[in-house]
Structure 1
Amino acid sequence: MSKLECIDLNVQYFGHDAVISGVTTTFSDGINVIYCGKQGGKTSFLKALSGVIPSSGKILFDGVDIASTSLKDRDFQMLFDDYALFNRRSARYNAEYPLKLRKTPKSERKNLVEEAAPLFDLDLMIDAPVYRLNEWHKISLVLLRAYLRKPKVLFIDNIFSKLDPQSRKDAFLRYIPLLAKRCDIMIYATDLVCEAAALTDQIKFMSYGYLLQEGSASDFTNKPACLSALFAFEDYSAGLPCVIESDGVCLFNKFFPLEFTLISDEYRGKEAIIAISSKHVGVSEEGFTALVTGKYLNGDQFVYQLSRDGFSFYMACERALIVGDEVVVGIKGLPKLFDPINERAIMRY
């Protein structure tokens, strides 16, 4: 069983703040997923893990520090979203290139490529130059190259980002399971929640270079460690300023009794962020007034966008409302509470 570990990993580019800060985690056999937003630091993190950029901390593969092994001996491969192809060479040349570097005989390289090309829709385009290929075929070529290479660890950096949504879904469902069988460890970085949730129940959530939480998609909605994790995995959610009282919260000058346990009593009587989704807001006789500013259809139910004092939030409601209506709403269920400075959870789950 293979294992890739990073211990207190840090990356800092010259003249800039750290882009990866103190990340400690483990990647085991099979598919591992990193979910990041647009500024999550996933590309720098993958480059550091593979050893192609300088970093501090330790990276261990099967217990051996990779700093003691050369790049070619690590048997790692990384797929970038810019493809890293020879644009004026043929698809065949690009597919064979990693095998050529490893001294695979020419006849064997040719046979391997011709056998695998149909799996990636490249059998008819294998001798065409790369600049004549469309985005689908370029991505297929990158994946074919990894399929033939069979690395121990395969890093995939949001490789499908340039495809339209339907093509991206098709490529993801078709190729990721295929490639997972050709490596010991796959580390897949994505900015789509649906892809992350489809692959594993142990998602690593990164934001601005910090590893903030590891867990399943339900963990990020039921037990979020930070506000950004909740927003990423729960639709129609928003954060509003509130004051924590002894047995509830004060929101827009209205008190709502809630049962919760704080990680520290020092938060009582202080400002916090209450994260509410559409299921936590409902029409109420006792509450605060809000203006209906939007209307959306979510499945078979309408979700209304509400606004109060410059803040927007959402409410699922069976009652028909019109944009411009003023309604009285209240809080129900158990919303989540977060520190207003670092946006970390301050509730015990």
Structure 2
Amino acid sequence: MAEIRIEQLHKAFGEFVAVRESNFTIADGEFFVMLGPSGCGKTTTLRMIAGLELPTSGRILLDGEDVTFRRGSERDIAFVFQLFALYPHMNVRQNISFPLRVQRLPRREVRQRTEEVARLLRIDQLLERPVGGLSSGDRQRVALGRAIVRRAKAFLMDEPLGALDAEFRELMCEELRLLHGRIGATTVYVTHDQIEAMSMADRICVMDRGEVLQVAPPMEVYERPATRFVAGFIGSPAMNFLPARGALAPGRDSIAVSGHEVPMPRLHEGLVGPDAVLGVRPEHIRIGGPEGQDAPLRGRVFGVEYMGTRQLVTVDTDAGRLKVRAPNTLKVGDGELVGLAFERERLVVFDPATDRALRSDLHAGAAGAAHG
């Protein structure tokens, strides 16, 4: 398998910039997910890694070799498309073994490797079946098998579960992760689905408008988003954002929201302008009585959605409408006045001029834990 290194990778179609000077490294054997909305540049990046698209500038290194302008067939990379792209006139065995037969490998080796991959994917009982009569899940397994059988240096997957229904998609997420664990392949997986990304990735690369905004493990992307876009894109419901004011200098450990001081992690850098944006996840807000001393913000309940062991409470406040994830044992009703308290160590402060998260004790603690 191989490390993939992207250096200043840039792709423009005329005046439209699809990928803007991206830099990141995919470790050998890593399951690396590229996540972002449609048109953010993730598929274009994947196609450049595969050799299906040539970059305007920058470099792509595979296992230390510069493959930037090599043909895809010379890169030893396997590609799995969203649409299964199976050969309808061939059965399952013929579809999986096709790359090996093209290489003119010995018939015995082709048979052995094909059956080995089929067992791995649990479709060995389907080898003689035509692909036209298979379920969507089984057809996707055949497509994966055709990629895996090559034993390529890296596997690139462009929204391979996008055509499946929700139940099959969840099952295939689990199976893909287990499969990755068995074969230990370097895998680059493109998706717009944050649940797929969070459940499968070793690290996530979040992109928007052609730019790489953050590359980090799923937990770090969720708890310590680098930008406001990342914070809003990851999580369901998304992070709450509250307008805040005050000269935020290094060392500051509180921020003014609707005239009330809200404790926050101590800042390690200041803010140029007078305004800021405070970010808080729904599960990091606690609902209490309206007169609570530790509840600096108050509001009225707009609605309650019951979700099994939890409930999602929507509260209208002077700082805007907030979503709160609370235990279902909490009894609140529409129109009720409540107090809101925030988990201090979980708050994130964003600079509205750049949308970048300001470094605080939250980020410093994370860095220390990562190095420890």
TM range (shorter): 0.7 to 0.9
Alpha-carbon distance change, 87 to 292 in structure 1, aligned in 2, over 3 angstroms: farther
Question: Residue in 1 aligned with 2:242?
Answer: 240
Partner Cα distance (1:300, 1:125) in 2? 41
Q: Is 1:206 the equivalent of 2:207?
A: yes
SS of residue matched to 1:347: coil
* Equivalent pair of 2:35/2:194 in contact (CA under 8 Å): no
Q: Is 1:307 the equivalent of 2:316?
A: yes
Decide which moves more: 79-88 or 49-58. 79-88
* Equivalent pair of 1:150/1:183 in contact (CA under 8 Å): no
The CA RMSD measured in Å over matched residues stands at 3.0
* Equivalent pair of 1:35/1:193 in contact (CA under 8 Å): no
Q: Is 1:83 the equivalent of 2:65?
A: no
Shift of 1:212: 1.6
Write the letter of the residue equivalent to 2:144: L
Partner Cα distance (1:310, 1:13) in 2? 42
Partner Cα distance (2:162, 2:94) in 1? 24
Give me the identity figure in percent: 22
Partner Cα distance (1:345, 1:73) in 2? 41
Of 357, 362, 366, the residue aligned with 1:345 is 357
Write the letter of the residue equivalent to 2:7: I
Shift of 1:245: 4.1
Q: Is 1:273 the equivalent of 2:284?
A: no
Shift of 1:332: 4.9
Partner Cα distance (1:241, 1:60) in 2? 43
Partner Cα distance (1:126, 1:259) in 2? 58
Shift of 1:182: 4.3
* Equivalent pair of 1:151/1:183 in contact (CA under 8 Å): no
Question: Residue in 2 aligned with 1:37?
Answer: 36
Shift of 1:314: 1.9
Structure 2 gap segments, 5+ residues each? 364-372
Write the letter of the residue equivalent to 1:27: I
* Equivalent pair of 2:32/2:188 in contact (CA under 8 Å): yes
Shift of 1:103: 1.9
Alpha-carbon distance change, 69 to 329 in structure 1, aligned in 2, over 3 angstroms: closer
SS of residue matched to 1:303: strand
Shift of 1:209: 2.5
* Equivalent pair of 1:154/1:183 in contact (CA under 8 Å): no
Shift of 1:86: 2.3
Q: Is 1:296 the equivalent of 2:300?
A: no
Structure 1 gap segments, 5+ residues each? none
TM-score, normalised via structure 1 length: 0.85
Residue pairs, 1:21-170, within 5 angstroms: 21-39=20-38, 40-55=40-55, 56-67=57-68, 69-106=70-107, 108-170=109-171
Partner Cα distance (1:109, 1:157) in 2? 26
Shift of 1:7: 0.2
Question: Residue in 2 aligned with 1:252?
Answer: 258
SS of residue matched to 1:266: coil
Alpha-carbon distance change, 257 to 4 in structure 1, aligned in 2, over 3 angstroms: closer
Shift of 1:200: 5.0
SS of residue matched to 1:169: helix
* Equivalent pair of 1:41/1:207 in contact (CA under 8 Å): yes
Question: Residue in 1 aligned with 2:370?
Answer: none
